[in-house]
């Protein structure tokens, strides 16, 4: 039995596990069938755990997104220089979608403030860009959207599930390789015994 696929019927699989009379069944066959059953059970558990983990991670990422949205707010800032990629290294400038530039905005108290923020590449000085501030009026990153948070939560869970499935498969392949060696040695021994009897005219 060299496949992870279970037998076509419960009766057939039960016979592989050792139930029922079968003079051709070897102990190694029973071990292999039992391991296949364990692999399938383990895979099912991993799939269920991945689904539950996805819900948990999605809820956590959505909560983080809501917290970020509650602790930041957007304002319009004016670019004090052109958002050009000329100042960036060549390998970064070719693929850069945004460029760090000096911007100015007015905070809640009416004071003008200046800092560096990311602006879309190609924008000219004097144009405006949306920046996000924290409760202290300092620049902060834009909050993660709910859609991005959901994708992140599911992606984390799927990645964890894929790693678990890969580990399970690797363990199965390792054990199956050892079982194949045992079966090969057993077959060689039986062949040697049969060949010896044949030569002596016993068979």
Question: What's the pLDDT at 184?
Answer: 76
Report whether 130 contacts 74 (CB < 8 A).
Answer: yes
CB neighbour list of residue 132: distance below 8 Å, 6 or more residues apart: 72, 73, 74, 75, 139, 140, 141, 142, 143
Question: What's the pLDDT at 180?
Answer: 77
Question: What's the pLDDT at 199?
Answer: 57
Q: Where are the alpha helices (DSSP H) in 72-145?
A: 90-93
Question: What's the pLDDT at 47?
Answer: 93
Q: Where are the alpha helices (DSSP H) in the chain?
A: 10-17, 27-71, 90-93, 146-200
Closest-CA residue to 165 (of 47, 53, 55): 47
- Point out the least confidently predicted range of 18-27, 34-43, 57-66, 140-149: 18-27
- Phi first, then psi, for residue 129 (nearest 5°) are -145, 145
Predicted model pTM: 0.62
H, E, C per residue of 49-81: HHHHHHHHHHHHHHHHHHHHHHHEEEEEEEECC
pLDDT digits (tens, 9 = 90+) for 114-130: 888 888 888 888 899 88
pLDDT digits (tens, 9 = 90+) for 140-162: 888 888 899 999 999 999 999 99
């Amino acid at each position: 039995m060299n496949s992870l696929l279970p037998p076509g019927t419960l009766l057939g699989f039960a016979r592989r596990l050792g139930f029922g009379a079968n003079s051709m069944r070897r102990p190694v066959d029973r071990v292999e069938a039992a391991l296949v059953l364990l692999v399938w059970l383990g895979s099912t558990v991993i799939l269920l755990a991945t689904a539950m983990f996805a819900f948990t991670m999605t809820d956590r990422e959505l909560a983080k997104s809501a917290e970020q949205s509650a602790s930041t707010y957007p304002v319009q800032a004016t670019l004090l220089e052109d958002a050009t990629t000329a100042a960036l290294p060549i390998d970064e400038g070719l693929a850069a979608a945004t460029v760090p530039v000096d911007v100015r905005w007015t905070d809640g108290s009416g004071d003008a403030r200046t800092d560096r923020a990311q602006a879309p590449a190609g924008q000219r000085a004097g144009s405006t860009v949306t920046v996000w501030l924290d409760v202290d009026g300092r620049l902060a990153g834009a909050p993660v959207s709910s859609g991005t948070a959901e994708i992140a939560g599911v992606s984390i869970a799927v990645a964890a599930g894929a790693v678990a499935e890969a580990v399970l498969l690797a363990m199965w392949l390792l054990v199956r390789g050892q079982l194949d060696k045992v079966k090969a040695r057993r077959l060689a021994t039986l062949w040697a015994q049969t060949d010896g009897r044949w030569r002596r005219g016993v068979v």
